[in-house]
Structure 1
Amino acid sequence: MPEHRIFATKFSSVYPLYVQKVERKGRTKEEVDRVICWLTGYSEAELQQQLRRESDFKTFFAEAPRLHPNSALIKGVVCGVRVEGVEDPLMRKIRYLDKLVDELANGRALEKVLRE
């Protein structure tokens, strides 16, 4: 079965869409960065390096230092798909990120988005 096309999509091409989505709702790029760093374990500098390198989603998540241990607490529906039911590990990580950005855009407190 062929890989989903999102796996080969450049993370740097989707990142501005995440930022635009939250900024329309009064949130900030810094909050998006914090959510991404929380999930992946990247530092801010490492995140910026991934963006400059134009890594695809597959590489972005493969090179992530560590997925946050509380990421398993991310539950719910994003784009009509129940996050916790996604079987492919890479697709689940992508959906985790989508869900976190959605929660941020929907005004959820950052501490709750980060499962702290």
Structure 2
Amino acid sequence: MTKPKIYSMSFAKVYPLYIKKVEKKGRTKEEVDSIIRWLTGYSQEQLENHIDKETDFETFFEEAPELNSSRRLITGVICGVRVEEIEEPTMQEIRYMDKLIDELAKGKPMEKILR
């Protein structure tokens, strides 16, 4: 089976889109970084290194130091699919991140986003 294109897409190419999306709604890059660090366990320096190296999404999640166990509490629909029902692990991790960024852009408080 062919892997979805997003797996080989550079995280560094999507990252600025996350920031642009939330800044249009009055949120910040720092909040985006906080969400990503919470989800993946990366330090700020590690996150920036992956951006600089243009790591692909699959590698970005494979190398995550410690995926947050509370991420399983993330529910809802993203791209027309319920995130809790996605069976492929890497795709589910990507959609978890998308869902958290969406919640930030919609004005949800950080303490609720970071379950």
* TM > 0.5 fold call: yes
How far, CA to CA, are the matches of 2:104 and 2:66 in structure 1?
A: 21
TM-score (norm 1): 0.98
How far, CA to CA, are the matches of 1:53 and 1:81 in structure 2?
A: 30
* Moved beyond 6 Å, runs of 4+: none
* Superposed displacement of residue 59, structure 1: 0.6
Structure-to-structure mapping, 1:1-116, within 5 angstroms: 1-115=1-115
SS in 1 for 2:87: coil
Opposite residue 16 of structure 2, the aligned amino acid is P
- Between the two proteins, what is the percent identity of the paired residues? 57
Deviations 1:24-71 (A, max 9, x none): 000000000000000000000100000001000011001100110100
SS in 1 for 2:55: coil
* Superposed displacement of residue 79, structure 1: 1.2
Give me the CA root mean square deviation. 0.4
How far, CA to CA, are the matches of 2:55 and 2:15 in structure 1?
A: 11
SS in 2 for 1:95: helix
How far, CA to CA, are the matches of 1:100 and 1:6 in structure 2?
A: 18
How far, CA to CA, are the matches of 1:45 and 1:66 in structure 2?
A: 15
How far, CA to CA, are the matches of 1:71 and 1:63 in structure 2?
A: 17
Unmatched 5+ stretches in structure 1: none
Unmatched 5+ stretches in structure 2: none
* Superposed displacement of residue 87, structure 1: 0.4
TM-score (norm 2): 0.99
